[in-house]
């Protein structure tokens, strides 16, 4: 009996290898759960084109925005698990089940991580005309006048919102969250000086910082950035342990064959390691971060656990 089972298993191995070698035989769709034109969309198109070049089939970017990215994620969770529909993932795959307890899918159970593409740290920024020159000055004011300062975000549950609440918890301050309906109006009010500060990812804020329209007080990662060499880390600015970022990667429906996932990961890593792609990501303010499927899965699991604590402590409920 055991011999028959082993023999059957041995027959399946060449079949799985053949299926992986044959894939892809037609176009692959990358679902981006955000509107066109944003950072996530740009990353998907940049990487998708080079993966298409290497695999010989088009990688078509399909934007499915709405529902705090839940519409696009649900579409991929329910798609055939054949490697022809994949998801450009960002922080929401690790955060949304904490924010939306009744989602019909699970960010961990229903997806198979393919690999990380890049991450971009958040910076605590203030308008150019702000009186705050350092993070220490901002925190001192927040402590002396609880509730007087404001911070903006693109909406409840967004990366900026969670980073703001994490900052409040790490620094023991009381500041008012002002949610907007999108990044553009939030940033517009920041640039206009109507908001005290905002945690911003470097992909979206770099041009404004370089132009002198925003002042970056601290970067929420352990090392300084080459693009912002004069901006101290949060630890250097007096807030050790405060680390926040946005990040990008690829995932597929959970039951996608491992051989196909392995091939997707191998090609993704090759693409991200290309000097032209790596430089383009760096110019955008992101740090290329190619790795294995397991490394990405472990990273998502850590983020999921970390954010769940922030959400619970701040009693956040998405609208």
**CB under 8 Å to 20, separation ≥6 — which residues?**
257, 259, 260, 262, 263
Which range, of 5-14, 62-71, 122-131, averages the lowest pLDDT?
5-14
pLDDT band per the 50, 70, 90 thresholds, residue 91: very high
Instruction: Identify the pLDDT of residue 293.
Output: 98
**CB under 8 Å to 146, separation ≥6 — which residues?**
173, 174
Rounded to whole angstroms, how far apart are CA atoms 45 and 19? 26
Rounded to whole angstroms, how far apart are CA atoms 75 and 84? 13
What SS3 state is found at 87? strand
pLDDT band per the 50, 70, 90 thresholds, residue 319: low
Rounded to whole angstroms, how far apart are CA atoms 249 and 258? 17
219: region left, alpha or beta (phi > 0 left; psi from -120 to 50 alpha): beta
pLDDT band per the 50, 70, 90 thresholds, residue 18: low
Contact 283, 203 (CB under 8 A): no
Q: Is 268 exposed, middle or buried (0-12, 13-18, 19+ CB in 10 A)?
A: buried
Instruction: Identify the pLDDT of residue 110.
Output: 98
The percent of residues above 70 in pLDDT, for the chain, comes to 93
For residue 16, pLDDT beyond 50: no
Closest C-alpha among 123, 138, 272 to residue 207: 123
What SS3 state is found at 257? coil
Beta bridge partners of 184: none
Q: Give pLDDT tens digits for 233-281.
A: 999 999 999 999 999 999 999 999 999 999 999 999 999 999 999 999 9
Which range, of 5-19, 116-130, 150-164, averages the lowest pLDDT?
5-19
Instruction: Identify the pLDDT of residue 317.
Output: 82
Q: Give pLDDT tens digits for 110-145.
A: 999 999 999 999 999 999 999 999 999 999 999 999
Q: How far is CA 61 from the centre of its chain?
A: 17
For residue 20, pLDDT beyond 70: no
The percent of residues above 90 in pLDDT, for the chain, comes to 84
Closest C-alpha among 248, 247, 181 to residue 220: 247
Instruction: Identify the pLDDT of residue 3.
Output: 56
Contact 307, 107 (CB under 8 A): no
For residue 4, pLDDT beyond 90: no
Q: What is the mean pLDDT of residues 269-296?
A: 95
Instruction: Identify the pLDDT of residue 208.
Output: 95
pLDDT band per the 50, 70, 90 thresholds, residue 38: confident
Rounded to whole angstroms, how far apart are CA atoms 212 and 217? 13
Instruction: Identify the pLDDT of residue 35.
Output: 87
DSSP strand E in 157-268: where? Answer: 176-179, 198-201, 214-219, 245-253
Place of tokens 């999921």: 304
Place of tokens 């703001």: 164
């Amino acid at each position: 009996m055991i011999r028959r089972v082993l023999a059957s298993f041995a027959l399946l191995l060449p079949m799985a290898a053949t299926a992986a070698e044959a894939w892809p035989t037609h176009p692959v769709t990358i679902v981006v759960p955000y509107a066109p034109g944003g950072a996530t969309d740009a990353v998907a198109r940049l990487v998708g084109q080079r993966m298409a070049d290497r695999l010989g089939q088009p990688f078509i970017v399909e934007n499915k925005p709405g529902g705090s990215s839940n519409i696009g994620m649900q579409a991929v969770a329910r798609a055939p698990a054949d490697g022809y529909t994949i998801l450009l993932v960002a922080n929401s795959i690790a955060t949304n089940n904490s924010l939306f307890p009744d989602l019909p899918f699970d960010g961990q159970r229903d997806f198979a991580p393919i690999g990380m593409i890049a991450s971009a740290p958040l910076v605590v920024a203030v308008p150019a005309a702000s009186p705050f020159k350092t993070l220490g000055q901002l925190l001192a004011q927040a402590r002396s006048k609880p509730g007087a300062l404001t911070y903006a975000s693109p909406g409840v549950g967004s990366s900026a919102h969670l980073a703001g609440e994490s900052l409040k918890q790490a620094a023991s301050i009381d500041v008012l969250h002002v949610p907007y309906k999108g990044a553009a109006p939030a940033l517009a009010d920041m640039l206009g000086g109507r908001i005290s500060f905002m945690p911003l990812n470097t992909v979206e804020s770099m041009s404004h910082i370089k132009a002198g329209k925003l002042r970056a007080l601290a970067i929420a990662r352990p090392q300084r950035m080459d693009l912002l060499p004069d901006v101290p880390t949060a630890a250097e600015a007096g807030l050790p342990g405060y680390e926040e970022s946005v990040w990008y990667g690829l995932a597929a429906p959970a039951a996608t064959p491992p051989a196909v996932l392995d091939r997707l990961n191998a090609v993704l890593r090759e693409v991200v390691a290309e000097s032209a792609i790596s430089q383009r990501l760096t110019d955008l303010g992101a740090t290329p971060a190619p790795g294995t499927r397991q490394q990405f899965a472990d990273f998502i699991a850590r983020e999921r656990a970390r954010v769940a604590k922030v959400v619970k402590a701040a009693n956040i409920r998405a609208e």
